[in-house]
Structure 1
Amino acid sequence: MNAAIKQYLVVTGNYWAFTLTDGALRMLVLLHFYKLGYSPLEIASLFVFYELFGVLTNLFGGWLGARIGLNKTMNIGLFLQIAALAMLLVPAELLIVPWVMAAQALSGVAKDLNKMSAKSSIKLLVPQDSQSKLYQWVAVLTGSKNALKGVGFFIGGFLLTHIGFQGAVAVMAGALALVWLLSLVLLKKDLGKSSYKPKFKDMLSKSGPINLLSAARLFLFGARDLWFVIALPLFLAQQLAWSQQAIGTFLALWIIGYGLVQSVAPFITGKKAGKVPGRWAAVGWAFALCLIPALLAKLLPLPFPTETLLVSVLLVFGAVFAVNSSLHSYLIVSYAKADGVSLDVGFYYMANAMGRLIGTLLSGYLYQTQGLEACLYWSSAFILVTVLLSCFLPKAKSYLRTNT
């Protein structure tokens, strides 16, 4: 096994462990505070700092990674997640909204440091002329991460039901501490450290294609979180009377399936034919996705069995969204410059986090004031913006020739 593959496995293992705790923590917080009687908008507010600090982390984290190395930013991310979990181990009466928001803020910093470091590292482990392999490695990393996030959702619901909020948090903090210690030993020194010292002004991308792709990503992930993050689980609990464990299990299985589709996205989009996706692949898959939430919103008031309809359409949405996400993840790593790669990737995931922040807030507000159908229509509108922005992306091969 060569050194690049060993580092890829270490990075992926790191990312997997972090993702399990991240998914479990989100489900724990959502279901625990719903059980305490919080409104949809109040629950959404708990995640505001998580997403807001993710925006800032991606911007500054990319700059930090280029200066000190991606191994350090990844390990810092793991440590901060342990600290965020430790903050939630206080007595139940101290788990007030500002304290939980502060813990979520720290978790948001941790998550995006970890993700930016993992995604940027792949660029450095694959030769520039191996775009097909780059796409496959990015797809496997992203897909496996999301599958494990689904497992985390399940773990969160299961642990909350059987050992309670604080017991679940303690178990996750202890397990992640062991992973952090291993990471300190195994990650290669100075991975991703730039050959020059980037300045603060270098944090903002100067590349037109990266700016366009980042804007498209913002609306793509805003569209998903508009109905999936707050509105959907609360609809399942309030309107369909699902239990906490049933909601956690269902969302876990959805995320796992979504991650598996992401992993095989290169084969869906033409890897067997030797094709590397570019502009029109991004446009076509986004347009297909745009139709799905609007269709569901149209069908919900009609006399169809609600559970069957919702589950069926959600599965289709998840599969098509997974291909879109995998395509975007490949394109940003492909577009990014190798020297200081984390600057470009960090900028892009800043837009990703901004989309999630906007989607989360709108999800809570729209569901509380107008219901699930409004969230779905807004979701389609956001994806339509992604379609329009993707029309202006460069052709893959011509951009790669000019960017090497």
Structure 2
Amino acid sequence: MSLDLRNYLTVTGGYWAFTLTDGAIRMLVVLYFHQLGYTALTIASLFLFYELFGVITNLVGGYLAARLGLNVTMHIGMAMQVVALGMLTVPPEMLTVLYVMVAQAMSGIAKDLNKMSAKASVKTLVPEDANDRLFKWVAILTGSKNALKGVGFFLGAVLLEVLGFRGALLALAGGLLVVLAITWFLLPNELGTAKVKPKFTQIFSNSAAINWLSAARFFLFGARDVWFVVAIPVFLHEVLAWSFTQVGGFMALWVIGYGIVQASAPALLRTKDQAPKGDAARFWALILLFIPATMAVALSQDVNPQWVVLIGLTLFGIVFAINSALHSYLILAYADGDKVSMNVGFYYMANAGGRLAGTVLSGLGYQTLGLQGCLWISAAFVAAAWGLSWFLPEGEAGSLNHK
């Protein structure tokens, strides 16, 4: 086994472990506080700092990784997640909205440090002229991560019923701490360190391609989270009367399937001979646009809401996964090899911004407009992502000359 492949597998394994805790803590917080009687908007507010600090972390984290190394920032993220999990194990009377928001802020910083570090690492482990391998490796990393996030959703729901809120958190923290120690010794310290130390003023991208792709990413992920974060779990439990385990299981299966499709994107798109270009992102965004719009129309016509959600979510997951895989490849292909962590950090800053907007609108939209309103907002966001994709370069991404 080559050293690059071993490092790739180590990065992937660490990312998997972190993702399990990230998915589990999300489901734990949503279900536990819904059980306590919190409104959809209040539950959404618990994640505001999680997403807000993700924006800041991605912007600054890429700069830190270029100076300190991706190995360091990845493990800082893991350590902060252990602390975040521990913060939520306090007695129930201490779990005020503000306190949970602070703990979630810590988790948000941890998640985005880990994600930015893991994905940027892939660029450093692949030769510059191997665009097909780059697409394959990043698709596998991202897709498998999302599949495991689905497992994390289910794990969180099950642990809540079996161990309770505090016991579940302690079990997750202990497992992640073990993984942190293992990956720390396996990865080289210099992974992802820039040859020339960048200045802080260079954290903003001067590449038109990266800026347009980042803007499209903002709306793409806002379109998902506007109905996925709060609206769907609460709708399933409140309107369809599903149990916590049923909600967690369904959400888990959705994300697992989404991850499998994402990991399979290179094969599905038949890109063995040629890596995708900007027009592929535009085409698949247009396909995605019709799904939430059709679901909203179906709900307005009194079609069985359970079937609308089940079929609609399945289709949305498949097409969204392809969109996400294309974006994840394009950012690495467009990125400057020596500044990959900064380019990826800037891009995921936009990703986190979209998630923040989607999270707020998920709680607010569901509480004021219901699931149907959230779906129309989602359709509008996808339309914006499609429009911005028209500005992406038409040429081969890996050979792009930044404009």
TM-score range, shorter chain: over 0.9
Structure 1 residue 43 displacement after superposition: 0.3
Corresponding letter in the other structure for 1:374? G
1:367 has 2:366 as partner: yes
Counterpart-to-counterpart distance in 2, 1:309 and 1:214: 31
Per-residue CA deviation, residues 248-304 of structure 1 (Å, 9 max, x unaligned), is 0000000000000000001122224x1311111010000000110000000013243
Structure 1 residue 401 displacement after superposition: 4.6
Q: SS at 2:163's partner residue?
A: helix
1:189 has 2:183 as partner: no
Structure 1 residue 396 displacement after superposition: 3.6
The aligned runs of 1:347-366 (5 Å cut-off) are: 347-366=346-365
Counterpart-to-counterpart distance in 2, 1:225 and 1:250: 16
Counterpart-to-counterpart distance in 2, 1:125 and 1:238: 47
Per-residue CA deviation, residues 124-174 of structure 1 (Å, 9 max, x unaligned), is 101111100100000000000000000000000001011110000000000
Corresponding letter in the other structure for 1:344? N
Per the alignment, do residues 327 and 19 of structure 1 end up closer, same or farther by CA in structure 2, a change over 3 Å counting? Answer: same
2:222 aligned partner: 222
2:250 aligned partner: 250
List runs of 5+ in structure 2 lacking aligned partners. Answer: none
Counterpart-to-counterpart distance in 2, 1:387 and 1:279: 11
Counterpart-to-counterpart distance in 1, 2:339 and 2:53: 22
Corresponding letter in the other structure for 2:116? M
Equivalent residues of 1:34, 1:43 under 8 A apart: yes
Counterpart-to-counterpart distance in 2, 1:102 and 1:190: 32
Corresponding letter in the other structure for 1:295? T
Counterpart-to-counterpart distance in 2, 1:233 and 1:396: 41
Counterpart-to-counterpart distance in 2, 1:401 and 1:352: 22
Counterpart-to-counterpart distance in 2, 1:373 and 1:96: 31
Counterpart-to-counterpart distance in 2, 1:289 and 1:107: 30
Q: SS at 2:112's partner residue?
A: helix
User: Considering only aligned residues, what root-mean-square deviation do their CA atoms show, in Å?
Assistant: 1.1
Counterpart-to-counterpart distance in 1, 2:302 and 2:96: 42
TM-score after normalising by structure 2: 0.98
Count of aligned pairs: 403
Equivalent residues of 2:41, 2:363 under 8 A apart: yes
Equivalent residues of 2:62, 2:345 under 8 A apart: yes
Counterpart-to-counterpart distance in 1, 2:364 and 2:24: 24
Counterpart-to-counterpart distance in 2, 1:270 and 1:390: 21
Corresponding letter in the other structure for 1:196? V
Structure 1 residue 25 displacement after superposition: 0.2
1:337 aligned partner: 336
1:383 aligned partner: 382
Per-residue CA deviation, residues 166-212 of structure 1 (Å, 9 max, x unaligned), is 00000000001101111221111110000111111110011100000
Structure 1 residue 95 displacement after superposition: 1.1
Counterpart-to-counterpart distance in 1, 2:400 and 2:387: 25
List runs of 5+ in structure 1 lacking aligned partners. Answer: none
Counterpart-to-counterpart distance in 1, 2:151 and 2:397: 40
The aligned runs of 1:158-197 (5 Å cut-off) are: 158-197=158-197
Corresponding letter in the other structure for 1:87? M
Per-residue CA deviation, residues 215-264 of structure 1 (Å, 9 max, x unaligned), is 00000000000111111111111110111110000000000000000000
Equivalent residues of 1:277, 1:396 under 8 A apart: no
Counterpart-to-counterpart distance in 2, 1:402 and 1:52: 32
Per-residue CA deviation, residues 67-88 of structure 1 (Å, 9 max, x unaligned), is 0000000010000000001101
Equivalent residues of 1:69, 1:193 under 8 A apart: yes
Equivalent residues of 2:330, 2:397 under 8 A apart: no
Counterpart-to-counterpart distance in 2, 1:228 and 1:127: 37
Counterpart-to-counterpart distance in 2, 1:152 and 1:333: 27
Which aligned runs of 4 or more in structure 1 are off by greater than 3 angstroms? none
Equivalent residues of 2:153, 2:248 under 8 A apart: yes
Corresponding letter in the other structure for 2:323? N
Counterpart-to-counterpart distance in 2, 1:399 and 1:124: 14
2:22 aligned partner: 22
Counterpart-to-counterpart distance in 1, 2:398 and 2:10: 31
Equivalent residues of 1:293, 1:380 under 8 A apart: yes
1:280 has 2:279 as partner: yes
1:38 aligned partner: 38
1:91 has 2:91 as partner: yes
TM-score after normalising by structure 1: 0.98
Structure 1 residue 28 displacement after superposition: 0.0
Counterpart-to-counterpart distance in 2, 1:204 and 1:401: 19
Identity of aligned residues (%): 56
Counterpart-to-counterpart distance in 2, 1:225 and 1:16: 21
